[in-house]
Amino acid sequence: MASNRTGQTPATLDQLVVRCMDCGRDYPGDQAITRCPACGGLLDAIIPLDRTLTPQDFIDPAAVPGLTSGVWRYRALLPTFPNDAIVTRYEGNTPLYWSERLANYAGLTGGRFGAKHEGHNPTGSFKDRGMTVALTHAKAIGASVVACASTGNTSASLASYAATAGIPAIVLIPEGKVSASKLGQTVALGARVVQVEGDFDDALAILRELTVTHNVYLANSVNPYRPEGQKTIVFELLEQLGWRAPDVIALPGGNLGNTAAFGKALSEAYAVGLIDRVPRLVTVQAEGAAPFAAYYDSGFDHYAPVHAETIASAIKIGNPASVERARRSIQTTGGIVTAVPDTDLLDAKAVIDAAGIGAEPASAASLAGVRKLVREGHISADATVVGVLTANILKDTDAIARYHLGDEPGERANRPVRIPAEMAALEKVLDDALHA
C-alpha cells in the first residue's frame, strides 16, 4: 500500500476507534453507536497523537484532484477513510474577515476581531463540516437511513449530504420553531421532514430512543464523527493565523457539539505541536436558553436543563446533548461561558450585517458575548479574538424583517423609505443620504 504525506498507510474502517469519555472503554468505530453501551457516556473518535505534525502535513487542496474540501485536507487529524469513500460538497475553506467595525463594537480598542464565516459553506452553515464526515462514515458502514433532530441548519445540511450519498434522510424539527428559510431549504433538498409537536429537546429525545431500537443512523452531534469535521473550523482559522493561536475563540452554544469539537481540536493541535499555546474558548448562549452558562456559573457543580426561549431559534435548546464534552472543552482551555439577552444579540447581528458581512441571529452571539466580556474585564481590550459566525444572513429572513421592518423595530433598524414615483422625491432621498 502507498503511504500518504503523513507517512501513514491509508486507513481501512477497522482502524476506526471510539472511546467513552466517561469510563474510557474503546469500541470499534465501524458501527453506528452514539453512546457507550456500558455506561451511556458520550463517545470520542480517537486520533493518534503520539507524533509531531507540521503545517506541511496538511494536504494542499490543489494536490488532490477533485478533493478541494477544507475539511479533508486536515485528514492527518481526522478519522481516515479511503479517498473514494468520501462524501463531500467541497465544504470549508471559509473566509476570516478582520473587521475594525466589529472590533470597535466589541470594545477591543487595542485588539482585533476576526469573523470566521462558516456561512460560506455549501448549505450556509458550519454543519456541513461535520456532515461530510458523518455521511462518509454512514455510507462506509452501509447505513440504510440517516436521521437528525434539528433547529433547521443540521436538517438542511443532512438533507444535502444524504442526497449526495444517496441515502434517505429523516429530519425531526420542532413545529413552528424553525425559520421559514431553513424549513424550505430542508424540504427542497429532499429530506423527509417530520414536524414534532414539541421543542428541539423533545424531538432529539424521541429520535435517540428510536435509534436504540431501530437501525437508524443518528447524525446529530452526539455522533462521534460529526465533531471531527467541525474541528476543522479551528484548524483552518489557526492556519489562517499562520498557526499563531489567537487569545480567544468565541462561538455560540446551543446543543454544544461545536464547543465540544473546538476543545478537542485545540487539545489535538497542541498535542502534535502545531500551536504552542491554547486559546481560551468562549461559549455564548442566549439568556433564555442558557443551561450551560448556569452550569459554568456553578463551577460545573450543578447542571439543570431549562425550558428554552429565545429569538435565536438555532440555539433554542434547553438540554444540550453534548454538555459534558463541552464542559471538558471549557475546562481544558481555561474558557468562559456566558449568556446575552436577545436584544444584545439582535443589535450585534445588525452591526455584523451593516458591516457588510451578515450572519443569522444565533451567530451574532459570538460578538455580543465578546462585547459583554470585554466590558466586564474578562477579555482584555487588546486581545486578538476570533468569533465564529456559524451561518449566513439568509438563514433567518423572518428575524431580519421583524428587526428592520416590524412594528417594534430594533435600535439599529434600517427602515426603507417610501416615496411617490417622482424625481423630486428621489432627489430628496439622495440629499438625505449624502448628508447622513
* CB of residue 118 to ligand F0G, shortest distance in Å: 8
Q: Which cell is 399 given?
A: 428575524
* CB of residue 189 to ligand F0G, shortest distance in Å: 14
Q: Which amino acid appears at position 71 of this protein?
A: V
Residue 389 neighbours by CB distance under 10 Å: 32
Cβ-based nearer residue to ligand F0G, 68 or 363: 363
Cβ-based nearer residue to ligand F0G, 69 or 259: 259
* CB of residue 204 to ligand F0G, shortest distance in Å: 9
Tracing cell 498557526 back to the chain, one arrives at 243
DSSP 72: G
> Can you give the binding site for ligand F0G, defined by CB under 6 A?
125, 127, 150-154, 221, 252-259, 314-315, 360, 362-363, 390-391
Angle at 354 between CA 348 and CA 355, to 5 degrees: 90
* CB of residue 328 to ligand F0G, shortest distance in Å: 14
**DSSP string for residues in 214-245:** S--EE-STTSTHHHHHHHHHHHHHHHHTTT--
* CB of residue 172 to ligand F0G, shortest distance in Å: 10
Cβ-based nearer residue to ligand F0G, 315 or 393: 315
* Strand stretches in 17-145, DSSP E: 17-20, 26-28, 43-45, 96-98, 112-117
Cβ-based nearer residue to ligand F0G, 239 or 360: 360
Q: What gap in Å lies between CA 201 and CA 203, rounded to an integer?
A: 5
* CB of residue 234 to ligand F0G, shortest distance in Å: 13
Q: What gap in Å lies between CA 247 and CA 270, rounded to an integer?
A: 14
H runs (alpha helix) in 241-290:
257-271
Cβ-based nearer residue to ligand F0G, 27 or 349: 349
- Dmax over Cα atoms in the chain, in whole Å? 76
Cβ-based nearer residue to ligand F0G, 165 or 359: 359
